[in-house]
Amino acid sequence: MSPARRLPQGGRIDRRRRLRFTFDGRSFEGHPGDTLASALLANDVLLVARSFKYHRPRGIFSAGQEEPSALVQLERPGGRRDPNLRATRQELFDGLIAYSQNRWPTLRVDVAALNDRLAPLFPAGFYYKTFMWPRWAWKALYEPSIRRMAGLGQAPTEPDPDRYEHRFAHCDLLVAGAGAAGLVAALVAVRAGLRVIVAEDDVAIGGWLLGEGSARVRLDGERPDLWLAQVRAELEAAPKCRLLCRTTVFGCYDHNFVALLERVADHLPEPPAGLPRQRLWKVRARQVLLATGTLERPIAFPGNDRPGVMLAGAAATYLHRFAVLAGQEVVLFGNHDGIYAIARDLRWAGARVTLVDSRQRPAPRLVDELRDLGCEVRTASVVVGTGGRLRLQQVHLTTRARAQETTGLPEVIPADLLLVSGGHNPDLALFAQARGRLVWEEARGIFLPGEAPWPVRVAGGANGCPTVAAAFADALRVAREIVIDLGRTPPSVPLPLVEEPGAAAIEPLWRVPMPKPRQRAKAFVDLQDDVTVKDLELAIREGYGAIEHLKRYTTTGMGTDQGKTGNVVALGLAAETQGTSVPELGYTTFRQPYLPVPFGAVVGPHRGRLFDPVRLPPSHAWAERQGAVFEPVGQWRRARYFPRTGETMEQAIAREARTVRQACGLMDASTLGKIDVRGPDAAEFLNRLYTNDWKRLAIGRCRYGLLLRDDGMVLDDGVGARLGDHHFHLTTTTGGAARVLAWFEEWLQTEWPHLRVYLTSVTEQWAAFALSGPQAREVLRPLVEGVDLSPQAFPHMSVREGRVAGVPARLFRISFTGELGFEINVPAGYGAYVWERLVEAGEPHGLVVYGTETMHLLRAEKGYIVIGQETDGTVSPIDLGMEWLIARGKGDFLGSRSLARPEMRRPDRKQLVGLLPRDPAMVLDEGAQIVEDPTASPPAPTLGHVTSSYASPNLGRTFALALVAGGRSRIGQQLYVTRLEGPPVAVEVTAPVFWDPEGKRLHA
């Protein structure tokens, strides 16, 4: 048996096949070609949703992507769950499972509908006014309960099993919208030999011609289908044309960068093997043509949100495209000629129709024709209310004149469908996204496209064309302009002869004007956000009349539909209420995306292992075999520590740190940035960048270097070695490698292009292994050829070239632990080999392999800073106590002028010091605040913060580094360090070096 409201014939549905689906657990049937909305309507399901704020019953309002009300949740196999889908755009498939949203316990009985009764308590700006005090209650009470109440669908709980693709494309012309105008323009462009992409949101090309237009329009005497089939065949056959249906242009960005969402498999239970669910296209188009058509707008009157209230054009679409007669007793309310044809169609389909025209004198021909068909026509009349509980049952009518009176009852007539049409707005959201200006046309009350900053054009309905013939002509003209702009010759494209009704006359009407006492029921402007005429009026009274304020204060147009149907009504109303004009009021910004885009599509393939590249140092495989624990350091994965069986992290680090100081240790330092600097002016160049004097560095020697920004703050540090007169090797921090190279290049190219210097990043070319500890020399000795390792021949801070384990190597005598240290650099391809030789050679000497955690502990014992830990962009070398690094007499360098400011020497600046907790077992929190008075209640003045904090097995106690205001003058004082739990703890301020302050071990 056919569903209740399905007509026996007509429509673009395949009646031979039946598709079963469920909505809120009830089973229904539909056909291929149906949307979920058309199938629900066919089955006489009018109640499909509850509204956002008041939980009012809502139905299906439109037949397209602009739908504000009928949002549903789809559940698919494999944990797939999609909330907030428009039932009007979801294609039906066999086995579809949909649920209504934002209701409890059921759609018919929703407890939160109480909100509707309490509506006087929820005026515009409700949230701003209400949930202000007490402050703590927001997080604890208000927000959780608001979130429960005011929601849309539920987020999925399972990981998304589907694949999403990103594709890049270039074209000469991108056409958004394949209706009458878009297709003509595409034909012109294709015949001119241009590369064309045509994107259509719908499942097929045709736009309005697929639905209402199919009944209204004849092309060369035939139904439009014939012409559409010809066009489709030509576009599909054209080698340089890509026709994409089920594809929404959702973003028009700068310089014709256009984003498209292709719903590859949303019309199927799950994507077929090998196909993504959705595809995000990133298109750079030389020219963009927006043929996005129009969107019908409603009229605000009390009770205009009841299930059974629908846009007039939507009913026409359901009738002609889906063979669904959405009601038997229909009231059609509008302000233009277009509704007469719809009334006629509904009448022919068997409905009883009452047409309510707000205009005084519509064309008598139209009125007479309808009356001859047996329809009632009321002119100069308006709808002032509706009745019915979960669906429309009555419509309240009166004349415009009587609507203005404060007394008098309206006429009540029975109805199960109320169709509304306030006119058609050109859909210019994409044009506005592309920063095109919108120009107001008073006569029709619509925005039209104005100027755009780059080649974005608009044609057809979106350009204000009232008829198909006008749209054809407009598209032809615009497409020719485009072809000529791109240097081609416009081809001949004969257009079919159009038979259609003429342009519809209209008198704009935003709302039914009624005196206050009659406005008891809510008249909605924005159905999705539950914004009423009253809310707008209240906001304006409270001073939020400016359009951007009005939007935010009332939330009008802020739903997932972005106010596609209601925004112009809100604007018109706001202008009317304030006695101003729409152009004076302006319009709110149109933002991307045009339609909601799933996160999966935005993320695309960039998740899991493909989220970010992982960089691995040469010892990684070895470290993995040893069971190392790793940590991410930027893109690098570094070994954090190497636990032995049964060891905790603390025990492992204590063992590693002790062994380095007592015997020796080996760490992979290959992640350090390395820059090869060559050229006759290399020393001069480095002198300008670093605080140090590089001209006086002898060949074969190294220097610890500090880079400052020109504001005097520390940017990075590292060791530089002079390998030749014109050749230096600089290291940077692991995280700073790219930044420092960029810094070098910028100054070289932009400020000092005359310096003859060549910069090469060699970070990944050299493996670097830090070997340090008293036994380091003995470990290394048997592996080294060609270098005398004795302290006299190879002193601290020098570099030698030779071989290690037979591999060409650079040996640096440097140390980040404070022990005798060598950094062995070999070509990265030999890294893993040399690493294992070093580990073997170390075994007899008790060598330990250590990770980043031990490295940090050891360097902190020695008071060596870590960029980004002891510095944060506001710390100068003076603050760090590193003035000894600032070369005197070499002249200007970056940061030098700023260091000369008196401000930099203020004694109360935060300075680097050490902290020893009074309790030697207390590990301070890094980042903890330092205060003078532990009893002061917050907000208490803080003196600084802990930058590094460790338990040291070598010191037998805990210690920390800190930045403390006037820290150096506080050495010996007692201060307090806050904790997350418990009272502040006492610490003694010390110098920041805890281990071997004389540096005897370093020079061993």
- Minimum separation from the CB atom of position 255 to other proteins (A): 4
When asked if residue 256 is in the footprint of other proteins (CB under 8 A), the reply is yes
Mapping DSSP to helix (H, G, I), strand (E, B) and coil, where does residue 812 land? Answer: strand
When asked if residue 874 is in the footprint of other proteins (CB under 8 A), the reply is no
When asked if residue 833 is in the footprint of other proteins (CB under 8 A), the reply is no
Question: Strands of 309-311's sheet, edge to edge?
Answer: 309-311, 417-421, 329-334, 352-357, 376-378
When asked if residue 435 is in the footprint of other proteins (CB under 8 A), the reply is yes
Alpha-carbon distance of 583 to 560, in angstroms, equals: 26
Which residue, 436 or 618, is less far from other proteins as judged by CB?
436
Query: Which of 15, 223, 284, 727 touches other proteins by CB under 8 A?
Result: 284
Q: Which stretch binds other proteins (CB under 8 A): 51-59, 133-141, 632-640, 749-757?
A: 749-757
Which residue, 371 or 901, is less far from other proteins as judged by CB?
901
**Size, binding site for other proteins by CB under 8 A:** 24
When asked if residue 166 is in the footprint of other proteins (CB under 8 A), the reply is no
Q: Which stretch binds other proteins (CB under 8 A): 59-67, 255-263, 504-512, 860-868?
A: 255-263
- Minimum separation from the CB atom of position 742 to other proteins (A): 7
When asked if residue 710 is in the footprint of other proteins (CB under 8 A), the reply is yes
Stretch 474-513: interaction string toward other proteins, x if CB under 8 A: ----------------------------------------
Task: Name the phi and psi angles at 86, rounded to 5.
Answer: -80, 120
When asked if residue 711 is in the footprint of other proteins (CB under 8 A), the reply is yes
Q: Which residues pair with 506 in a beta bridge?
A: 336
Alpha helices in 866-952 (DSSP H): 896-899
When asked if residue 365 is in the footprint of other proteins (CB under 8 A), the reply is no
Query: Which of 502, 753, 795, 806 touches other proteins by CB under 8 A?
Result: 753
When asked if residue 892 is in the footprint of other proteins (CB under 8 A), the reply is yes
- Minimum separation from the CB atom of position 643 to other proteins (A): 39
Please write down the HEC assignment for all residues of 323-375: CECCCCEEEEEECECHHHHHHHHHHHCCCEEEEEECCCCCCHHHHHHHHHCCC
Which residue, 405 or 751, is less far from other proteins as judged by CB?
751
Q: Nearest Cα to 639, choosing from 854, 430, 784?
A: 854
When asked if residue 648 is in the footprint of other proteins (CB under 8 A), the reply is no
Q: Which stretch binds other proteins (CB under 8 A): 248-256, 506-514, 517-525, 962-970?
A: 248-256
Which residue, 170 or 918, is less far from other proteins as judged by CB?
170
Alpha-carbon distance of 227 to 221, in angstroms, equals: 11
- Minimum separation from the CB atom of position 892 to other proteins (A): 6
Amino acid identity at 979: R
Token representation of residue 819: 């022990």
Query: Which of 131, 142, 454, 622 touches other proteins by CB under 8 A?
Result: 454
Which residue, 145 or 760, is less far from other proteins as judged by CB?
760
Which residue, 108 or 437, is less far from other proteins as judged by CB?
437
Question: Strands of 96-99's sheet, edge to edge?
Answer: 26-30, 19-23, 96-99, 71-76, 80-86
Task: Name the phi and psi angles at 449, rounded to 5.
Answer: -70, 135
- Minimum separation from the CB atom of position 751 to other proteins (A): 6
- Please report where in the chains the tokens 């509980």 appear, as a residue: 389
When asked if residue 785 is in the footprint of other proteins (CB under 8 A), the reply is no
- Minimum separation from the CB atom of position 746 to other proteins (A): 7
Which residue, 283 or 419, is less far from other proteins as judged by CB?
283
The DSSP output letter for 890 is: S
Q: Looking at residues 534 to 573 of the shown chain, list those that interact with other proteins (rule: CB under 8 A).
A: none
Sequence-ordered strand ranges (E) for 200-336: 218-219, 241-244, 247-253, 257-262, 278-290, 294-296, 309-311, 329-334
Query: Which of 14, 220, 222, 254 touches other proteins by CB under 8 A?
Result: 254
Cα distances (angstroms) measured from residue 824 to each of 285, 678, 701, 853: 52, 21, 15, 21
Q: Nearest Cα to 359, choosing from 332, 399, 417?
A: 399
- Minimum separation from the CB atom of position 711 to other proteins (A): 6
Which residue, 435 or 726, is less far from other proteins as judged by CB?
435
Q: Which stretch binds other proteins (CB under 8 A): 97-105, 126-134, 304-312, 893-901?
A: 893-901
Q: Is 983 exposed, middle or buried (0-12, 13-18, 19+ CB in 10 A)?
A: exposed
Alpha-carbon distance of 57 to 74, in angstroms, equals: 20
CA dihedral 736, 742, 743, 747 (to 10 degrees): 170
Task: Name the phi and psi angles at 936, rounded to 5.
Answer: -60, 135
Which residue, 344 or 909, is less far from other proteins as judged by CB?
909
How many CB atoms are located within 10 Å of the residue 718 CB? Answer: 22
Alpha helices in 361-461 (DSSP H): 364-372, 400-403, 429-433
Token representation of residue 797: 């801070």
Which residue, 761 or 942, is less far from other proteins as judged by CB?
761
Query: Which of 442, 746, 785, 788 touches other proteins by CB under 8 A?
Result: 746
- Minimum separation from the CB atom of position 257 to other proteins (A): 4
When asked if residue 612 is in the footprint of other proteins (CB under 8 A), the reply is no
Amino acid identity at 409: L
- Minimum separation from the CB atom of position 436 to other proteins (A): 11
Alpha-carbon distance of 944 to 930, in angstroms, equals: 5
Q: Which stretch binds other proteins (CB under 8 A): 252-260, 547-555, 602-610, 856-864?
A: 252-260
When asked if residue 613 is in the footprint of other proteins (CB under 8 A), the reply is no
The residues, ordered by sequence, that sit 6+ positions from 904 with a Cβ below 8 Å of its Cβ are 712, 876, 878, 898
Query: Which of 109, 614, 742, 936 touches other proteins by CB under 8 A?
Result: 742
Alpha-carbon distance of 755 to 898, in angstroms, equals: 24
When asked if residue 704 is in the footprint of other proteins (CB under 8 A), the reply is no
Alpha-carbon distance of 198 to 262, in angstroms, equals: 12
Query: Which of 122, 253, 630, 833 touches other proteins by CB under 8 A?
Result: 253
Which residue, 645 or 750, is less far from other proteins as judged by CB?
750
Q: Which stretch binds other proteins (CB under 8 A): 465-473, 741-749, 777-785, 969-977?
A: 741-749
Q: Looking at residues 897 to 936 of the shown chain, list those that interact with other proteins (rule: CB under 8 A).
A: 897-898, 900-901
How many CB atoms are located within 10 Å of the residue 790 CB? Answer: 10
DSSP letter string over 514-530? --GGG--S-BEEETTTT
Query: Which of 236, 368, 405, 751 touches other proteins by CB under 8 A?
Result: 751
Q: Nearest Cα to 420, choosing from 343, 475, 499?
A: 343
Q: Which stretch binds other proteins (CB under 8 A): 35-43, 773-781, 895-903, 941-949?
A: 895-903
When asked if residue 650 is in the footprint of other proteins (CB under 8 A), the reply is no
When asked if residue 756 is in the footprint of other proteins (CB under 8 A), the reply is no
Query: Which of 106, 580, 749, 790 touches other proteins by CB under 8 A?
Result: 749
Which residue, 71 or 713, is less far from other proteins as judged by CB?
713
Query: Which of 592, 651, 896, 969 touches other proteins by CB under 8 A?
Result: 896
- Minimum separation from the CB atom of position 710 to other proteins (A): 6
Alpha-carbon distance of 746 to 752, in angstroms, equals: 9
Which residue, 251 or 618, is less far from other proteins as judged by CB?
251
Cα distances (angstroms) measured from residue 586 to each of 300, 444, 543, 546: 21, 17, 16, 9
Longest CA pairwise span in the chain (Å): 116
- Site for other proteins, rule CB under 8 A: 253-257, 284, 435, 453-454, 710-711, 742, 745-746, 749-751, 753, 892, 896-898, 900-901
